Amino acid sequence: MAKILCVLYDDPADGFPPAYARDAIPVIDHYPNGQTAPTPSAVDFTPGHLLGSVSGALGLRPFLEAAGHTLVVTSDKDGADSAFDRELADADVVISQPFWPAYLTAERIARAPRLKLAVTAGIGSDHVDLDAAIAHGVTVAEVTYSNSISVAEHVVMMILSLVRNYLPAHRVVLDGGWNIADAVARAYDLEGMDVGTVAAGRIGLAVLRRLAPFDVRLHYTDRHRLPESVERELNLTFHESAAAMVPHCDVVTVNAPLHPETEGLFDDALLGSMRRGSYLINTARARIADRDAVVRALESGRLAGYAGDVWYPQPAPADHPWRTMPHQGMTPHISGSTLSAQARYAAGTREILESWLAGTPIRDEYLIVDGGRLAGAGAHSYSTGT
């Protein structure tokens, strides 16, 4: 019997379960590239309910406990005295979400001799030291595509909200005011702007598709070029690198994984090469941008706005400078954890566990590391090294 250690964010401050705003969510059975949505043998939860917090337990408890496995769920994840550290010693499987990541460092992996599987309930496994996972034979899997569209929608929302100065204008209403000039002095139309994405994978391409009807000029850079038919359909301009692309853009959105090639990419030099008054939206991973360089670029006016939902570390400390820097539209890490997304990645987590417990192959598209090497989706999109 296996011990499954699941690290999830805290329940709502108002208690669990919350009162739901809607009665149901649409059924999504496949993704834009034809990949089927998760196909576990069954689920023990109501789609649209809160599954990502501790009491929701990703809907896994009945299934795992009925089969005699031990499920430990905690939100206490950081520091040597954390429940996560204590329970890790004899855990076979660790599950966590990028929104509340259980950082599986090399030291922690070394102290978890039974650990065989690390599942990301969502997408983005950079909270796992992939080199250490490879060295210790730990399989890493994530629920590819489960929340890609959720994030793409968030990106579009943040682009419009920054360019049109939505949040400060809303603040005027909350404050009981009506000063139109204050609200519009930084407001523009997106129409006609140059918008570029760093990476055109599942999220990046979905953002491009969603923005095309806004009559913008679309740009992208990626390690692999999109099919010519897609470039033509969306009238895309390809650039060899982020450095080659960003000087041609008014809005840049980052949709690449965090790995050695992308860490620290948006530093003073790259930000300094952007058009004055550019907007940068990063819902990928915080460390793709240099934290203090972003603050400097906003203060100097090189950036007219920055938004995203990814921070380092997570949760972000109360004095994190991105909480108070000017012209920003940050949210906590929420874009990929809508109730709609949770239903998919909870089902996908169960699908991965069912395969692993039965000794049958995990879907290739879910694999990041397997058999001591990058595998599946990981072999395509990640690199190793520090």
Question: Considering the rule CB under 6 A, would residue 199 count as an interface residue with ligand NDP?
Answer: yes
Question: Considering the rule CB under 6 A, would residue 335 count as an interface residue with ligand NDP?
Answer: yes
Q: Scan for tokens 């250690």, then name that residue.
A: 5
- 284 closest CA partner among 158, 164, 119: 158
Query: Given the DSSP bridges, would you call strands 3-7 and 70-74 parallel, antiparallel or unpaired?
Result: parallel
Q: Choose the catalytic residue: 239, 285, 302, 363.
A: 285
Q: Choose the catalytic residue: 275, 333, 344, 363.
A: 333
Dihedral in degrees, nearest 10, Cα atoms 98, 63, 5, 356: -80
Question: Annotated catalytic, 147?
Answer: yes
Which phi and psi angles does 291 have, rounded to 5°?
A: -50, -55
Residues in 136-155 that interact with ligand NDP by CB under 6 A? 147-148, 151
The minimum distance between CB 176 and ligand NDP, in angstroms, equals: 34
The minimum distance between CB 5 and ligand NDP, in angstroms, equals: 22
The minimum distance between CB 287 and ligand NDP, in angstroms, equals: 10
Q: Choose the catalytic residue: 147, 165, 255, 328.
A: 147
- Name the one range near ligand NDP by CB under 6 A: 21-29, 44-52, 209-217, 218-226: 218-226
- Name the one range near ligand NDP by CB under 6 A: 113-121, 122-130, 266-274, 296-304: 122-130
| Strand spans (E) along the chain | 3-7, 70-74, 93-96, 117-120, 139-142, 194-198, 217-221, 236-238, 251-254, 278-282, 303-308, 367-370, 373-374
Amino acid at 378: G
Q: Scan for tokens 């595998």, then name that residue.
A: 375
Residues 6+ apart with CB under 8 A from 229: none
Residues 221-260, one symbol each (x = binds ligand NDP by CB under 6 A, - = not), give: xxxx------------------------------xxxx--
From the DSSP assignment, how many helices (H) and strands (E) are in the chain?
A: 14, 13
The minimum distance between CB 100 and ligand NDP, in angstroms, equals: 11
Helical residues (DSSP H) of 190-287, grouped into ranges: 202-211, 228-234, 242-245, 268-272
Question: Annotated catalytic, 35?
Answer: no
Q: Choose the catalytic residue: 255, 314, 328, 342.
A: 314
Query: What DSSP state is assigned to residue 39?
Result: -
Residues 273-312, one symbol each (x = binds ligand NDP by CB under 6 A, - = not), give: ----------xxx-----------------------xx--
Number of residues that bind ligand NDP (CB under 6 A): 34
Out of 262, 278, 314, 340, which residue is the one contacting ligand NDP (CB under 6 A)?
Answer: 262
The minimum distance between CB 332 and ligand NDP, in angstroms, equals: 10
Residue (63 or 311) nearer to ligand NDP, CB: 311
Cross-strand partners of 236: 218
The minimum distance between CB 2 and ligand NDP, in angstroms, equals: 26
Question: Considering the rule CB under 6 A, would residue 344 count as an interface residue with ligand NDP?
Answer: no
CB count within 10 Å of CB 86 equals: 14
Question: Considering the rule CB under 6 A, would residue 159 count as an interface residue with ligand NDP?
Answer: no
Distance CA 128, CA 98 (A): 10
Given the rule CB under 6 A, which residues bind ligand NDP? 122-124, 147-148, 151, 198-204, 221-224, 255-258, 261-262, 283-285, 309-310, 333, 335-336, 377, 380-381
